[in-house]
């Protein structure tokens, strides 16, 4: 009987945990959020990892919810992020180190009700904490003052700027999967708390 109760309670507990991080307002059926978790990367000694999560919640029309697959391209070039302190002042970007200039992109396909979360950056230490999303989006997080900061920004994609994954004229067996973007827009990422302590 205990197990049946726990199975019934589990979705409620997950929902309660889920509500701690705010989702963006949906745009054409897609919403997104940032969240931070302890690192699970076995190859690097990061304290925490920053994740981006997309969810296809559909579009409500006159006939009810339109349950379409949403396809779009993710690239770090689509991210515009800022880190602010308690007073709302932006932290300066860290001077980038060695960077080869290559920025990959991925075609993403989300069925209705589906979601996808993946790591986009990390927070490392000890000493002064360092938040890095890309070599060009990185900040030092001083522990002075409250030591609390907020990461926020936008993710944007336009179909016009989609990058082909394989050059035109490539042999048909080597071509892309055939997924073509049907979503474009700008999603505003609600701020999440980042601690320098």
pLDDT tens per residue across span 131-170: 999 888 899 998 887 889 999 999 999 888 776 554 455 4
52 CB-side CA count, 13 A: 22
Instruction: Tell whether the torsion through CA atoms of 24, 15, 112 and 180 is positive or negative.
Output: positive
Instruction: Tell whether the torsion through CA atoms of 44, 49, 50 and 51 is positive or negative.
Output: positive
Selected residue with higher pLDDT from 166 and 12: 166
Question: CA-CA distance, 71 to 119, in Å (whole number)?
Answer: 19
Selected residue with higher pLDDT from 9 and 52: 52
User: Mean pLDDT over residues 83-109, rounded?
Assistant: 83
In this prediction the pTM is: 0.78
Check residue 100 and give its pLDDT. 67
- How far from each other are the two terminal CA atoms of the chain, in whole angstroms? 43
Q: If pLDDT is split at 50, 70 and 90, which confidence band does 129 have?
A: confident
User: Could you tell me if 9 and 176 are in contact, meaning their C-beta atoms sit under 8 angstroms apart?
Assistant: no
Q: If pLDDT is split at 50, 70 and 90, which confidence band does 62 have?
A: confident
Check residue 64 and give its pLDDT. 75
Selected residue with higher pLDDT from 42 and 94: 94
């Amino acid at each position: 009987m205990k197990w049946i109760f726990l199975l019934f309670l589990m979705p409620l507990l997950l929902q309660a945990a889920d509500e701690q991080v705010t989702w963006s307002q949906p745009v054409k059926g897609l919403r997104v959020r940032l969240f931070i978790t302890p690192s699970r990367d076995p190859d690097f000694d990061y304290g925490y990892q920053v994740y981006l999560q997309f969810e296809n919640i559909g579009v409500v029309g006159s006939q009810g919810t339109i349950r379409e697959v949403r396809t779009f391209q993710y690239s770090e070039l689509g991210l515009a992020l800022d880190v602010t302190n308690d007073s709302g002042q932006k932290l300066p970007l860290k001077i980038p180190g060695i960077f080869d200039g290559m920025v990959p992109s991925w075609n993403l396909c989300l069925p209705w009700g589906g979601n996808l979360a993946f790591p986009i950056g990390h927070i490392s230490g000890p000493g002064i904490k360092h938040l890095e999303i890309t070599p060009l989006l990185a900040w030092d997080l001083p522990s002075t003052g409250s030591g609390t900061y907020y990461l926020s920004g936008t993710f944007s994609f336009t179909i016009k700027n989609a990058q082909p994954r394989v050059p035109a004229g490539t042999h048909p067996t080597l071509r892309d999967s055939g997924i073509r973007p049907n979503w474009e827009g700008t999603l505003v990422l609600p701020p999440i708390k980042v601690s320098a302590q």
